[in-house]
Each structure stands twice: as C-alpha cells, then as structure tokens.
Amino acid sequence: MRMMEQVLNDYFNAWNQAFKSNDSGLIRSKMSEQFVGFWAHSSLEVPQQYDYHYDLDQVLKQYNQADVEKSFEIESITKRTNDVLVIGTETNKINGKPHPAKAIFIWRKENDDWKLLREYIELIN
C-alpha cells in the first residue's frame, strides 16, 4: 500500500500548492469527474454535500490571506474490488491553529491514474 501513501501525499501537496498559487486545477486534477464529498461537524444536522464541480476557487479565496497547510495521518488502507478505502485524520493548520477532522477517502484507478471518488469529512472540534 506504499503506492496509496504516495497518492495521498500527492493529493495533499496539490492542496498546499493550490493554497499558495490559487490554482484549483491542481486539486481538481486529483478528483474523479464522478467525485462526491460530504463535510460535517457536530452542529450540523445534515452533512453538506458537494461534487466535482464545486467552487474550489472560492474555497481557496477564503484562505487567501492565511497561512494554511493540510496534512493527513493514515489510520487504515483497505483494498477493495474496484477501489481503495482510506481512513485517517486530516488536519488543516490555519495560521498555526490545527483543525483536525476524521476522513474517509475512496480512491479509484481511472486511465492509469488514481482519482478521488468520494470523501467524508467530519470535523473533530
């Protein structure tokens, strides 16, 4: 599963480069066109759903004046029939303050490249 560790490293590096360059294409290039994501925290009744076409440019603009870095700690990697399921902790460090979240990622091979098919993000704090 060392290959999946590299895929994840590349994905989070794309985010970190995009924060600096405001180039959302770096992130979107890692996503399947069938991508669907869910984001939640304890005060939301229903997770927010988004997809491949969500406004990543707006997300990056929210952090335009901030020092932001994403990282990921893998807890488990499970190979399945057609994809790979990864569970871990994603941390967004914003101006030095960590914002951890539990994350589940589903990665699928598309035309010889690993693409993010689904993600479930639940903020811890």
pLDDT tens by residue, 7-30:
999 999 999 999 999 999 999 999
Enumerate domains of the chain plus CATH numbers. 2-123 (3.10.450.50)
Is the Cα dihedral 34, 18, 109, 92 positive or negative? negative
Query: What confidence tens digit (pLDDT) does each residue in 48-92 have?
Result: 999 999 999 999 999 887 899 999 999 999 999 999 999 999 999
Q: How large is the average pLDDT for residues 32-37?
A: 98
Higher pLDDT, 34 or 64: 34
Distance, CA of 100 to CA of 106 (rounded, Å): 19
93 Cβ contact list (under 8 Å, min separation 6): 67, 68, 69, 70, 71, 99
When the pLDDT of each residue in the chain is averaged and rounded to a whole number, the result is 95
